[in-house]
Amino acid sequence: MSEQFQAYQVGKTEDGQRCALTQLDDSDLMDGDVTVRVEYTTLNYKDGLALTGRSPIIRKFPLTPGIDFSGTVLESEHADFKAGDQVILNGFGVGEAHSGGYAQKARVSGDWLVPVPDGLDTRRAMAIGTAGYTAMLCVLALEGHGIKPDAGDILVTGAAGGVGSVAVAVLSKLGYRVVASTGRLQESEFLQGLGAAEVVDRSGFAEPARPLGREVWAGAIDVAGGNTLANVLSQIKRGGAAAICGLAESMNLPTSVAPFILRGIAMYGIDSVMAPIPLRKQAWQRLVSDLDFKLLDELSFDLDFADLPQAGADILDGKIRGRAIVKLP
């Protein structure tokens, strides 16, 4: 018997798109070999774009947004999962080309799922969400480059946002001296509570960058792109690296090859959407061991499922601090 469930659906209109809360049934579920009872989801910058239509994120209509979710397997034809397993999904085009987490049920490919690791539950998994998982991928990239805590300061841009706040918390717990860049200096106490040694105004990175600036950072995690990233790259110390994972400021990168060929720095592009499953499992396991859950709880807040459309606009306008946890009704 087909079961009805609540879901947000984004449909195409003559002047753009419309998002509405509606009732669906099992016949509306998309193709996949695992059906999940969604317990929690969250809100990311990309979700804000999908909910509001400010950028053409959604590539198939009608579609349920939500690029990540956690929950319990209801049915499975996939060898790695069985009914009752707790799972996490993020990326793989879910919430963009395949219906995602803003629904009480989802059907997806088991190849996209990761088991909830020991030491984590489905609620905290979405307190971390795609943003926190992306932050850990960035940390792994800097570690893989050989940057150790004694190398010098690590800059985190967009530090009050989802990726930035988790990056600050993880890096500081690992012993790095973290400098947090933000456009919201009123959040300085919050960022220092996460472990930031220093908070700086993002306006210091806003002007066009010189090819080479003063060497300041051993490494950096950047969510902004644009002039911010160009300035960051020009200031990275010889042999250092930046892990880049966003374009909140701009998709453009107005810089030169100078810091790469004259200082031997590296820039790592973080593809959280299509990262292979072994790397995903490593990132989630490291989050269990290297993220202070007390801090995670402090930087997280509950967001009502009914408030997602407005919250989608708020995250684009820089009004969301930390990590939103959305419990499905």
**Residues recorded for the chain:** 329
Place of tokens 């472990």: 195
Domains and CATH numbers, the chain: 5-116+293-327 (3.90.180.10), 131-269 (3.40.50.720)
Q: How far apart are CA 82 and CA 105, in angstroms?
A: 16
The string of pLDDT tens digits covering residues 94-103 is: 999 999 999 9
The string of pLDDT tens digits covering residues 310-319 is: 999 999 998 8
Give 313's contacts (C-beta < 8 A, 6+ positions apart): 48, 51, 52
- Write down the pTM of the prediction: 0.93
The string of pLDDT tens digits covering residues 256-308 is: 999 999 999 999 999 999 999 999 999 999 999 999 999 999 889 999 999 99
Neighbours of 292 (CB within 10 A): 15
Nearest-5° angle of CA 265, CA 268, CA 271? 175
